[in-house]
Homo-oligomer: A and B are copies of this chain.
Amino acid sequence: MNSRTEASSDKVYHQVIEYIKELARDQKISFGDKIPSERHLMETLGLSRNSIREAIRTLEHMGLIESCHGKGNFLVNHMGESLSSVFSMMLFMKGSDYLEVNHLRKAMEIQAFHLALERLSEGEREKLMEIMQPIRDTDDYEAMMQMDHNFHKMLIECSGNHLLGQLMEALSQVCQEEMQLILENATKEYTEWWLSIHQTIYECLICGRREEGLAAIEEHYQWIEEKLKKIMQKSSAVKSN
């Protein structure tokens, strides 16, 4: 009854993880489905509820499971959110900063632009156009942030690379507050410039003007970098007071 004696590899809850992964691999359950209840897994695997729950906590943080109180545990695909929790922890522990995030985002967006140029479909063209329309009529910063987010997300989607998509989504979440700081203090002048940059990127993508598009992306992130530096100066000045 006690499976400690036949422990496969260190911690017992790995058994649970393997079991769930097995179920998933063999298509016995797929995304959105409920996995067996905790009390059920106890019996099936001959483990205590504690161990089951520790395993589920682990899987939850890998983005594979979502616990719903009163309903059950469900197989999901939230790995993006899982990434963002790690990133925000890195930032919290000063293992990185927003400038570094910005560099990474630029790198990914450039790559996405290259990929998108090579495989942009008609449907994506139209979707991009839809997204660009409201951008032009935007003036309050909240709407601006939303539009900006949609635009960049769509650009990444056009690359067809899901990994880039998930990563970028995670990074966006992590630096949402910083972006807000930047945009809410932007003057009207900046706002217009900001919009025009997006317009340029959009047109270049549609028309296949590679170099010009890359330059616009570069300029976009360069601008953010400068703003970030100002914010960081301010906050360090506050600290030293």
- Chain A residues in contact with chain B, CB under 8 A? 13, 21, 24-25, 50, 53-54, 57-58, 60-64, 77, 79, 82-83, 85-87, 89-90, 92-93, 95-96, 100-101, 103-104, 106-108, 110-111, 115, 161-164, 166-167
CB of A128 to closest CB in B, whole Å: 20
Q: Which of chain B's residues have a CB closer than 8 A to the CB of A89?
A: 62-64, 79
- Taking the closest CB of chain B, its distance from the CB of A115, in whole angstroms, is 7
A180 vs chain B, min Cβ distance (A): 21
B83 touches A79 (CB 8 A): no
A4 to B160, CA, bound (A): 45
Which residues of chain B come closer than 8 Å to A108, judged between CB atoms? 104, 107-108
Complex alpha-carbon distance, A166 and B91, angstroms: 12
| Residues of B close to A164: CB separation below 8 A | 100, 103-104, 107
Q: Is the interface of A mostly helix, strand, loop or mixed?
A: helix
What residues of chain B lie closer than 8 Å to A24, measured between beta carbons? 93
Minimum CB–CB distance from A88 to chain B (whole Å) comes to: 9
Once the chains bind, are A111 and B100 in contact (CB under 8 Å)? no
- A22 vs chain B, min Cβ distance (A): 11
What are the residues of chain B within 8 A of A93 when measuring CB–CB?
24, 64, 77, 79
Q: Are A100 and B161 in contact (CB under 8 A)?
A: yes
A25 to B96, CA, bound (A): 15
Residues A104 and B166 in contact in the complex (CB < 8 Å), given A53-B54, A86-B79, A89-B64: no
